[in-house]
Amino acid sequence: MNCTICPRHCLIPVGKSGYCGVRRNWYQDSSSNTTNENNFKNDLRNGIFSITYGKNTGLVVDPVEKKPLYHFYPGSKTLSLGSIGCNLDCKFCQNSSISRSVDDSVLVKYSPLEVVAAAQLNGCRSIAFTYNEPIIGLEYVIDIAKEAHQAGLQTIAVTNGYIAQEWLDKFFENIDAANVDLKSFSDDFYREYCSASIEPVKETLCYLAKKNKNSTKNNCNDNSKRGIWFEVTTLLIPELNDSEREIAELSDWFFSELGAEIPLHFSAFRPADRLRSIPPTPAKTLFRSRNIATATGLKYVYTGNIDDTAGQATYCPQCKQSIISRNRFNVTEYLVDEDQCCRYCGQTIAGEFESDL
Ligand code: SF4
């Protein structure tokens, strides 16, 4: 059977899994004593679904800034969960012990209702699907997200954006905010270091720009009632994707296709996985990249994975005052009012905010 969830479109023999390791062709697999723990309609899985349904690596309470999301209820707590497997194969993966694992015996079972209850018990405003790629566990994400909304919680997807276009609506239907990795602005990089291609990721970003109610790009009538907030993260790896030229090209495209209001996070690489011989990203590379993107016209550009309070503060694009200060993942100053405006000059700040922390 053909899995259509992501652009790989794996052709999966009966009883086997696709490239991500967790979406299995379950068709006529009943003789193998496996138990179908799913409760989904056939039209969703079409005989192929995730072996990790109802199982994750554990529940962790995080500040929402850790996703990173800087314009989505700053200072709030989110319940993070992930599982095993991935549809990319990044040579610099920071979570390779889970992303390349296919051993679901190490996972802990939580029903969607148990996940929601844990979020409520821990005072979380949202539930975040993170650590590994959530699209490959689509059914579990959808069930938890629906229960979360029933309980008045919000939902976050931290994704590589490598999703088939025909599944974008289904995946994001119950998602309130996303952080999407744009791993480079080069298709060659995607092919050599991620075993993927850039075009589907750009399509996902453009889709979100249309769905985002804050964006001037929003021309999607059917979603006028509800928007999806999103931010973008690019991990800068020395010599591989951090040239001034590439950052300038990325920034130009970002400005014209996603809009100036969408936050962009430049994050520092630390040696990991198969790129352990590459040194960490120097701070000056992050500063330079932030300057390039800001000069292009992007209003909210941040640095990450380094100590840089100036690069992690939110500045009002109108009066240029610092209105949200952060010390690593803690919000230390908050000057956004109840109308989502700068308390100094009244300029609207893109995103979703409370009047207080
Ligand atoms: S989600 Fe997994 S099985 Fe489906 S196409 Fe992508 S890599 Fe293949």
Question: pLDDT of 266-315, one tens digit each?
Answer: 999 999 999 999 999 999 999 999 999 999 999 999 999 999 999 999 99
Binding pocket residue ranges, ligand 1, CB within 6 Å: 3, 5-6, 8-10, 18-20, 23, 87, 136
Q: Is the pLDDT of residue 222 over 90?
A: no
Count of CB atoms situated within 10 Å of the CB of 13: 9
Q: How many whole angstroms from 128 Cα to the centroid of ligand 1?
A: 21
Q: Which two tokens stand for residue 132?
A: 């590994």
Q: Which of 199, 198, 168, 204 is nearest to 183 (CA)?
A: 198
Give the single-character DSSP code of 97: H
Nearest residue (by CA) to ligand 1, atom 2, is: 20
Q: Which of 168, 182, 110 is nearest to 135 (CA)?
A: 168
So what's the pLDDT on residue 35? 45
Question: pLDDT of 18-45, one tens digit each?
Answer: 999 999 998 754 444 444 444 444 444 4
Place of tokens 């209001």: 261
So what's the pLDDT on residue 46? 57
So what's the pLDDT on residue 214? 62
Residue that wins the pLDDT comparison between 184 and 33: 184
Which ligand 1 atom sits closest to the C-alpha of 21? 2
Nearest residue (by CA) to ligand 1, atom 6, is: 6
Contact by Cβ (8 Å): 79, 60: yes
Nearest residue (by CA) to ligand 1, atom 3, is: 18
d(CA 287, CA 291): 6
d(CA 128, CA 153): 11
Contact by Cβ (8 Å): 47, 27: yes
Q: Is the pLDDT of residue 74 over 70?
A: yes
12, 136, 195, best to mutate for ligand 1 pocket (most atoms within 8 Å of CB) = 136
Which ligand 1 atom sits closest to the C-alpha of 23? 3
d(CA 292, CA 301): 10
**224 forms bridges with which residues in the sheet?**
none
d(CA 94, CA 181): 13
Question: pLDDT of 307-346, one tens digit each?
Answer: 999 999 999 999 999 999 999 899 999 999 989 999 999 9
What's the Cα-to-Cα distance from 171 to each of 52, 341, 349, rounded to whole Å? 17, 31, 27
**236 forms bridges with which residues in the sheet?**
268
> Which value, in Å, is the radius of gyration of the alpha carbons in the chain?
20
Contact by Cβ (8 Å): 1, 27: yes
Give 224's pLDDT tier (boundaries 50, 70, 90): very low
d(CA 209, CA 258): 5
Q: How many whole angstroms from 294 Cα to the centroid of ligand 1?
A: 36
Q: Which two tokens stand for residue 152?
A: 């008045």
Q: Which domains does the chain have, with CATH numbers?
A: 52-311 (3.20.20.70), 313-357 (no CATH)
